[in-house]
């Protein structure tokens, strides 16, 4: 293979003092942030995305933040980043096995979010400017 993969490094998450329900906190800490849940959701739906496909799907995220979120997910071992050494650059993101194992969590979130749509905050319009690649 001519691709370059980085293994998951040290987690950004540490210094936990454990308490009842800390498993909830541990799991939640991996998908917090404004975009991580959505990034995982997209990867679960579409298997593999490139950097600019994320940007198209998430028109309101900046490059810097997208990069940071992807790095964080990669560091935590939830997604895998594959760099194809071609020009122009080509980078693909996909779920790791661990990331894929979060599917029940993400789908529970999605299901709940959809079910309770009626009580979303005012500005929340359902899937307007939804951008699909292709």
Partner DNA sequence: CAGAATCCTACGAGATACTG
Partner DNA sequence: CAGTATCTCGTAGGATTCTG
**Footprint on this chain of DNA (rule: CB under 7 A):** 12, 32-35, 50-53, 60-65, 67-71, 81, 88-92
Residues 56-115 binding a second copy (CB under 8 A) are 57-60, 77, 98, 101-102, 104-106, 108-115
Round to whole Å and give the CA distance between 90 and 28: 31
Residue 60 is classified by DSSP as T
Decide: is 34 part of the binding site for a second copy (CB under 8 A). Answer: yes
User: In this chain, which of 5, 6, 90, 117 binds a second copy, going by CB under 8 A?
Assistant: 117
Residue 128 touches which member of DNA, a second copy, none, C-beta under 5-8 Å by kind: a second copy
Instruction: Give the whole-angstrom CA distance, residue 27 versus residue 15.
Output: 14
Alpha-carbon Rg for the chain in angstroms: 16
Query: How many C-alpha atoms does 68 have within 13 Å on its Cβ side?
Result: 9
Q: Cα dihedral angle (32, 37, 39, 45), rounded to 10 degrees?
A: 160
* Binding interface with a second copy (CB under 8 A): 11, 13-29, 31-35, 37-38, 40-42, 45, 57-60, 77, 98, 101-102, 104-106, 108-117, 119-132
């Amino acid at each position: 293979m001519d691709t370059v993969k980085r293994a998951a490094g040290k987690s950004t998450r540490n210094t936990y003092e454990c308490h009842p329900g800390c498993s909830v906190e541990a799991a939640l800490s991996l998908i917090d942030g404004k975009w991580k849940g959505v990034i995982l959701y997209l990867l679960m739906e579409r298997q593999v995305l490139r950097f600019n496909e994320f940007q198209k799907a998430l028109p309101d995220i900046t490059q810097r933040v997208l990069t940071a979120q992807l790095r964080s997910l990669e560091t935590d071992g939830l997604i895998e980043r594959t760099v194809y050494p071609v020009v122009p650059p080509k980078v693909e993101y996909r779920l790791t096995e661990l990331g894929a194992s979060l599917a029940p969590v993400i789908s529970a979130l999605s299901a709940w979010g959809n079910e309770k749509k009626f009580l979303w905050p005012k500005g929340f319009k359902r899937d307007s400017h939804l951008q699909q690649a292709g």
